[in-house]
Amino acid sequence: MNALASQAILETKLFFRRKDTMFWTFLFPIFFMSLFGLIYGNSKWPGMDIRSVDYLLPGIVVMSVMSTGITHTLIAFVTEREKGVYRRLALTPLTRQSLIGGQIVHHYSITIMQTLLVLTIGILGFNITISGNIPLAWLVLTVGVLCFVSVGFALTGLVRTARSATPIAQIPFFFFMFLGGVFYPTSMLPKFLGYVANILPSTHMNDALRMVFYQGAGIGDIWQHLLVLAGWTMACLAISIKFFRWE
């Protein structure tokens, strides 16, 4: 436990030293929340009971989680591995489980900060009202963070150089974003893409958050979404540990 906590603290300190990473991590979701809020205002899309900006808020939260969990995890890990950071750590008592666990705790804390910023802008700037169960929304967020960080780690075993990390990270990020209902309902997709969307973790996290935020859903209403997210998490963690490389 001490090794895990120490690794999480170390990763967080390194994160706050990277000014460019901090910029994109915190300002990227804020920019989208502000942009869509200004564009749509109080307007509604046809057939929807809530405003367009209300619909988009959970999607922007999910996009932030994916950006940090997939893109930042993959790029930062591969870059540090290429610099030999993890080769030196391999000579210490630190286990791969503690290293991955520390990264997960670090990314979870960063994602919570992102989410609070987005929610603050949405509530104060665009009068978004969240009437659902906040602890349950927190549970969905937690399971989602674990899921997407696990996806990022699973990809580290496939990427050998820092140069290739960015384009490879963008593939699942944009795939999950555009097919996962972040910016529009998955019901708008062609039927064959709808089948694909139904198995994506982004779709299930989006649906669960919207149901909790605006429909007052309980755990009995969203357990299937949580189960899919947990399934992705376990599968990707197994891949991460199996194909983990110190160098």
Domain that holds residue 187: 2-242
Name every residue whose Cβ is closer than 8 Å to that of residue 44 and which is 6 or more positions away in sequence.
50, 51, 52
Report yes or no on 105 lying in a domain: yes
Number of domains the chain is built from: 1
What digits encode the pLDDT tens for the residues 48-105?
A: 788 888 888 999 999 988 988 888 888 877 877 777 766 676 666 667 677 777 777 8
Instruction: Give exposure, 123-156, as e/b (b: 16+ Cβ within 10 Å).
Output: eeebebebebbeebbebbbebbbbbbbbbbbbbb
- Residue 29 clears pLDDT 60, i.e. is over it: yes
Q: Which of 157-166, 195-204, 217-226 has the lowest mean pLDDT?
A: 157-166
Report if residue 106 sits inside a domain. yes
> 200 pLDDT band (50/70/90 cuts)?
very high
Lowest mean pLDDT among 9-23, 38-52, 196-210: 9-23
**Greater confidence, 108 or 210?**
210
pLDDT (0 to 100) of residue 147: 92
Q: Residue 247 falls within a domain, yes or no?
A: no
Q: Is residue 51 part of a domain?
A: yes
- Pair 197, 207: CB distance under 8 Å: no
Asked if residue 187 belongs to a domain, the reply is yes
d(CA 189, CA 224): 21
Asked if residue 179 is part of any domain, the answer here is: yes
pTM as predicted: 0.86
